[in-house]
Amino acid sequence: MTRGLSGLQAKVVGIGRIAIGFMFWVHGAQKLFGWFGGFGADGGTVELLSRFGAAGVIEFTCGLLIMVGLFTTQAAFIASGEMAVAYFWMHVPRGSLFHWVNRGEMVALYSFFFLLLVVLGAGAFSLDGIRGRRAAEPPPD
């Protein structure tokens, strides 16, 4: 059965990248600007050098890059690392290493999905793919 689906891999990875990149971008926009029902700008200015501000910058920037598929592996590496740090810094101190106790399942899922993108690449529908095709084309005469 998997052989028949292997032709869809790039498209499924691309669709997943777009959807999850958008969700990650929204988290950053909530933190930085208070958009989408967030609490960033509504509660005053966000200190960009705080943990909260740094997380917002990473989520907004990497989420956007991942969503459009530009520098995907690099952005996904940074995003995966941020989520791993968040898991161990913010969720494990709640009393357990296990996600079902510390409520860190979303953070863990983000971290592992982004790690998959580091290995698999951007998939279909990405600016990285367009850039790669252009780089492979011979120069015009």
Phi-psi map region of 71: left, alpha, beta (phi>0 left; psi -120 to 50 alpha): left
Candidates 18, 9, 137; CA nearest to 70 is 18
- Alpha helices by DSSP H, the chain: 2-5, 9-33, 51-68, 72-86, 99-102, 105-120, 127-136
Average model confidence (pLDDT) for the chain?
88
pTM over 0.95: no
Please tell me the distance from the alpha carbon of residue 86 to that of residue 117, in angstroms, as a whole number. 19
Residue the block writes with tokens 């690392």: 81
pLDDT at 1: 47
Looking at residues 50-74, what average pLDDT do you find?
95
Q: Helix, strand, or coil here: 40?
A: coil
Confidence of residue 84 (pLDDT cuts 50, 70, 90): very high
| Domain boundary assignment for the chain | 2-136
Task: Indicate the pLDDT class of residue 100, thresholds 50, 70 and 90.
Answer: confident
Note the pLDDT of residue 87: 94
pLDDT confidence tier of residue 114, bands split at 50, 70 and 90: very high
CA distance 123 to 96: 35
pLDDT of residue 60: 97
Between residues 127 and 97, the one the model is more confident about: 127
